[in-house]
Chains A and B, each alone.
Chain A
Amino acid sequence: MTIDHLEIRGLSRRRFLAGCVAIAGLAAACGRRAKCGSPGISSRAADGALLLVLTEGEAQTLTAFAESVLPTGAAAPSLADTRLIQRFDEEFFFVDEAVRADMKMALGVLEWVPLLGGYFHRFSHMDLFTRTALVQSMMGSRLETSRAIANSLRFAVHFFYYAHPATWAMSGYDGPFTHLAPQLSEQRMHYLELTKPRA
């Protein structure tokens, strides 16, 4: 089933959007409570890394999404190799609140949208094959909300993954022209400091 078949099953575009908004509102409220309920305590990614923006639920959804759009196989660097979830968290830590809120809403809708389509699992609990098919159908959907969620998240995941040096051998990229030593900005250093493991 593709996301566009929702319309055939009697779910109009308007009802789809209304469903998305309700889901997103619920997800955002849960996310806010999870973050605000524990001031000063951050979430953790599956690998134990501290997260400042993503809730654990959002990190799970993002991980499931990333697994669906990134290559598989031994030759492909893993999410951990590229610190993808942490990078995503870091990038969205420094953007405007409105940008961050959009990203969180996208993850919230993505997590619950399968239920609108008659699946009996949330996105992060679906098997990889079904998840990938759903993302594929969302990317090419005639429903703009669905298309926007899949394409904007995919853009960010691919951007952060393939910009990471761990993937350069696979892509044949020979790296920055002069191979200068990385110069971390104040923001990068601040994020690393906030998330470094503490005893």
Chain B
Amino acid sequence: MIGRIYEFRDLTESETIRTEVCVIGSGCGGATVAKRLAERGHDVVVLERGGYYPTRSFDQDELNMNGKLSDNRSLKTASDNVTVLLSGNNVGGASVHYWADSYRTPEDRLRLWAERYGIEGHGVADLTPAWDELTETLHVHPAEDEYFNRMNQLVREGATQLRWRGARVPQARHSCQKSGHCMQGCVYEAKKSQLVTHIPEAIALGARLYADVRAETLGLDNGRVTSLQAVVMDRATNRPSLTHLTVQAKAFVVAAGGYNSAAFLMRNGFRETLPRLGRGFGFNPSPMVHALYDEDIVLWRNIPAAYGVDHFRLASYAPSGRYIEGGYLLMPNQLQPGLLAGSLPLLGNEHATWMRQMRRIGSTIGWIDDHPDELGRIELNSDGSPKIIYPYGPTTQAMLRDLVKKQAQLHIACKAREIIVAGARGLRVHGSHDLESIDTLEVRAGGLLMGSPHPSGGCAMGRDSHDSVVDSSHRVHGLQNLFVSDSSVFPTSVSVDPSFTIMGFSYLAAEHVHAALA
């Protein structure tokens, strides 16, 4: 049986769709679980809120592609009104614009999740078969030398000089053309996003994917979900059409991504029985430091992060509990001109002076490992969309300042001519003697200009409905056939880029769904 992809233009009349499994979302979680279930012989329907943009529709234009691939066009922010929420809104989800960094979940993190949060069956031994297979099928490998652009070389040189541990970043790509357009979608299909891997594989096995369809209301009967009401979105207007779909299935898997899964369940009224729904939310806030060099850097070509500094991945604390340093990955940055300009906190001709030297601008970025005791939460806006409330607690702020400081140190070691922190004050760092000024930087509301590329939590996995939303079989507490399979089940951040963890967990989720259908 061959499946197919349906789009808004195919969906002109309301209808009822019957299937075994309905998956809501088509990113790393949804596409992977759909593929695995299709391999197991199940009839699978995938609903995707965003549009279907095959690679032939990619044009590498920063704004055109941002409009096609990014949820709310990268203009939605957290409650501080400046931290940009980055996620996908298209078939393939955020994997279509991600950097393809593919880290296996660190063992210490899986141990933490087992010991502190009671997660069972998600240890290294459980996940390794999935990762081994994914390594093969997604061509995951450490970046080779030819993929080190000048910024990557500088980060490696600087880290070596500072005696910071780093490593080549595992990449899910094959025959990369070094275009530098990972964030605009890979027109060459070299980057192994879900759009060109698990989705076509699931379709070939008979899965049906409905793009431009927004899941709305779950129908419940005696502890089971029996149906899902959905609305077809008019892609041109990005507004709901008059066409509705009803999906009847034996099992439902929510995989709408870290920003949306909890919100979907909240709109369906589950907060009352699941008090942890929307809680424990992290998003890896990612501050940047830019620098002018006396040589061409050309930040916008080749792959984004061939080399990363993992020396500070785990935060260190004094015996008293006082934060000392670390708790983040530090990476080379890659920005096309629009986002680079947006993150450069200057005005007018001073801003233009930097932009005129864009070829010589280098940049670094890092994502902090959200502190487990200072996580945020998801609420609903009056229009039903998720509202992200993130407290930026004291340790989080200290981590962010430390990360900014380390980035500045690295640029100093690399002999940058001028260094500027991407933050409201436009703080300049001229040498080591200026590093202390970073300690007084504001963080919230643009104090640091940050993106948040890796949402986690909101539907955390755990023991029971008092401490979590799903159990270790990915099943929502209290419901027999409703599962969650994306980064929202993580009880904390992963401490590395999460895509490989999401896919590994989704392999396991698929087995639990399969068992439930038996």
Contacts and interface: CB of A to CB of B under 8 A. Distances in A.
B449 A162 contact: no
Interface stretch (B19-27, B77-85, B137-145): B77-85
Interface stretch (B201-209, B331-339, B404-412): B331-339
A92 B75 contact: yes
B318 interface: no
Contact of A158 (B67, B177, B181, B341): B341
B118 interface: no
A180 interface: yes
Contacts of A148: 80-82, 445-446
Contacts of B82: 147-148, 151-152, 155
B64 to A, nearest CB: 6
Interface residues of B, number: 67
Contacts, number: 199
A177 B301 CA distance: 8
Contact of A167 (B68, B300, B337): B337
A123 B169 CA distance: 48
Tell me what chain A mostly uses at the interface: helix, strand, loop, or mixed: helix
B338 A162 contact: yes
B61 A182 contact: yes
B345 A151 contact: yes
Contacts of A170: 352, 355-356
B60 A178 contact: yes
A162 B338 CA distance: 5
A99 B382 CA distance: 11
A100 to B, nearest CB: 9
Given A98-B385, A151-B445, A158 B344 contact: yes
A99 B187 contact: no
A179 to B, nearest CB: 8
A160 B355 contact: no
Contacts of A139: 345, 347, 424-426, 446
A69 B345 CA distance: 10
Contacts of A171: 337, 341, 355-356, 358
A68 B348 contact: yes
Tell me what chain B mostly uses at the interface: helix, strand, loop, or mixed: loop
Given A97-B383, A98-B381, A178-B60, A159 B349 contact: no
B237 interface: yes
Interface string A170-193: 111100111011111111111000
Contacts of B301: 177
B434 to A, nearest CB: 17
B217 interface: no
Nearest to B385: A96
A105 B184 CA distance: 30
B140 to A, nearest CB: 23
Contacts of A173: 300, 336-337, 358
B236 interface: yes
B109 interface: no
A63 B385 CA distance: 29
Contact of B62 (A136, A163, A178): A163
B342 A155 contact: yes
Interface in B359-417: 359, 381-383, 385, 387
B444 interface: yes
Contacts of B336: 163, 173
Contacts of B426: 139-140
Given A147-B445, A171-B356, A176 B61 contact: yes
A164 B342 CA distance: 13
Interface of A: 68-73, 76, 87, 91-92, 94-99, 102-103, 106, 132, 135-136, 139-142, 144-145, 147-152, 154-156, 158-164, 167-168, 170-173, 176-178, 180-190
Given A140-B425, A151-B424, 16 more contacts: A71-B349, A71-B352, A87-B63, A147-B445, A151-B445, A154-B342, A154-B345, A155-B84, A158-B341, A170-B352, A171-B355, A172-B356, A180-B187, A182-B64, A187-B235, A190-B237
26 contacts: A68-B348, A70-B348, A70-B351, A71-B351, A72-B349, A91-B67, A96-B76, A102-B81, A132-B348, A147-B424, A151-B82, A151-B449, A152-B82, A155-B449, A158-B342, A158-B344, A159-B342, A162-B341, A167-B355, A170-B356, A171-B355, A172-B357, A184-B64, A185-B57, A187-B236, A188-B67
A-B pairs with lowest CB-CB distance, top 8: A163-B338, A151-B446, A176-B60, A162-B341, A71-B352, A177-B179, A148-B81, A159-B342
